[in-house]
């Protein structure tokens, strides 16, 4: 129930700032994305994702990072792992403004799935499972979209429940 209220408040708050806040500013304002924001800062991606875009970001919640093996996040945040962290984070970003309607239309056009090329050059496969958008990474890992269309001035955020990882 707590998660529902967070998503509801995030949707309400971002709707009023849709044209003025960047996708990074939306994430910074979310208590459930503090790990993602820390990672974006550590990877020096804040400026890039605050740029013109448009970007579609599949944004993992803090609990998604908690699912990773113990020590993974703290290790990735170390300066020596900046390139690997940037690769993982840009694997969550697709160029263009793909709102939920566009994602669903692409899945339908692809007869049940669509392969999205990420900014890192990797592939994410989007499909539907029990009326939820499911993202499958190149390793077979799965994340589900839990909130859609958090619209910013330079793109859109879709909240996901797991971290997806490139090969």
pLDDT at 4 over 80: no
Q: Distance between alpha carbon 119 and the CA centroid of its chain, in Å?
A: 12
Do residues 135 and 145 make contact, with C-beta atoms less than 8 angstroms apart?
yes
User: pLDDT (tens digit, 9 = 90+) per residue, 111-137?
Assistant: 999 999 999 999 999 999 999 999 999
């Amino acid at each position: 129930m707590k998660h529902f209220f967070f998503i509801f408040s995030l949707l309400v708050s971002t709707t009023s700032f849709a044209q003025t806040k960047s996708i990074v500013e939306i994430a910074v304002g979310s208590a459930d994305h503090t790990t993602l924001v820390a990672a974006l800062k550590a990877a020096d991606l804040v400026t890039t994702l605050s740029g013109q875009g448009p970007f579609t970001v599949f944004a993992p919640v803090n609990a998604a990072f908690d699912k990773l093996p113990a020590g993974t996040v703290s290790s990735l945040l170390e300066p020596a792992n900046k390139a690997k962290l940037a690769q993982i984070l840009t694997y969550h970003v697709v160029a263009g403004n793909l709102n939920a309607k566009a994602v669903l239309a692409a899945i339908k056009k692809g007869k049940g799935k669509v392969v999205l090329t990420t900014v890192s050059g990797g592939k994410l496969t989007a499909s539907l499972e029990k009326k939820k958008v499911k993202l499958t990474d190149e390793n077979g890992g799965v994340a589900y979209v839990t909130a859609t269309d958090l619209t910013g001035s330079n793109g859109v955020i879709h909240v996901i429940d797991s971290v997806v990882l490139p090969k």
